[in-house]
């Protein structure tokens, strides 16, 4: 049996959890209970051209950094355990998606950014318990789309006409998931 997912316009609380110009982005939430590296890889390949940037706020297990080094994947380290990785090949995408899957399924969030002229060092997130998440140094006008992936699904923030409604977003979900039409804004 296929795992179900739903696609909805994001709740205002999700939109407010980020500090960015809200008029420029449409926000769509996809609820999926089974985040796998295959899902992440498939989404990136269907939605974007490479390169994309993965922001791993925390590599809590330690082996993630070692895995990147062993596989000669360059990354920008921004804290004792945070990394920003420019993914410009399918091999890197598969490797980084696997690391992202483990982090997400252990309750952490990761971010994926797509756009022209994005610089790794500018994607450092600032998270405080009482304030929205900020990417203070990123030129948000260079960002076409960014995705926050969590254990229970992901949220797409996009300026692209390709992702501006739940009906459009469902086209990017792999066929091994089934749309819960009753819970979706379609």
Q: What is the pLDDT, as a whole number, of residue 59?
A: 83
HSE-up of 19 (CA within 13 Å, CB side)?
13
Enumerate the H helices of the chain as residue ranges. 12-16, 37-47, 63-70, 90-104, 166-169
Output the tens digit of pLDDT for each of the chain's 186 residues.
788 999 999 998 888 888 887 778 999 999 998 899 899 999 999 999 999 999 998 887 778 899 999 999 999 998 888 899 999 999 999 999 999 999 999 999 999 999 999 999 999 988 777 778 888 888 888 999 999 999 999 999 999 999 989 999 999 999 889 999 999 998
Q: Are 137 and 19 in contact (CB under 8 A)?
A: no
Question: pTM (2 decimals)?
Answer: 0.94
Q: What is the pLDDT, as a whole number, of residue 17?
A: 87
4, 170, 181, 104 alpha-carbon torsion, rounded to 10°: 40
Neighbour tally for 72: CB within 10 Å: 7
Neighbour tally for 106: CB within 10 Å: 11
* 3-state DSSP assignment of residue 147: strand
Q: What is the pLDDT, as a whole number, of residue 172?
A: 94
């Amino acid at each position: 049996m296929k795992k179900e997912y739903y696609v909805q316009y994001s709740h205002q609380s999700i939109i407010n959890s980020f500090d960015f110009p809200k008029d420029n982005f449409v926000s769509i939430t996809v609820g999926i209970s089974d985040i796998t590296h295959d899902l992440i890889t498939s989404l990136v390949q269907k939605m974007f051209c490479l390169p994309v940037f993965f922001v791993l706020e925390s590599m809590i297990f330690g082996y993630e950094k070692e895995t990147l080094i062993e596989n000669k994947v360059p990354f920008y380290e921004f804290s004792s355990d945070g990394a920003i990785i420019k993914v410009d090949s399918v091999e890197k995408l598969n490797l980084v998606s696997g690391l992202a899957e483990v982090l997400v399924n252990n309750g952490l969030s990761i971010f994926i950014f797509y756009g022209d002229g994005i610089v790794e060092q500018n994607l450092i997130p600032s998270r405080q318990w009482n304030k929205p998440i900020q990417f203070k140094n990123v030129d948000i006008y260079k960002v076409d789309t960014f995705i926050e992936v969590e254990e229970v699904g992901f949220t797409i923030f996009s300026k692209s006409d390709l992702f501006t409604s739940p009906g459009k977003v469902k086209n990017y979900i792999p066929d091994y998931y089934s749309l819960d039409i009753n819970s979706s804004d379609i």
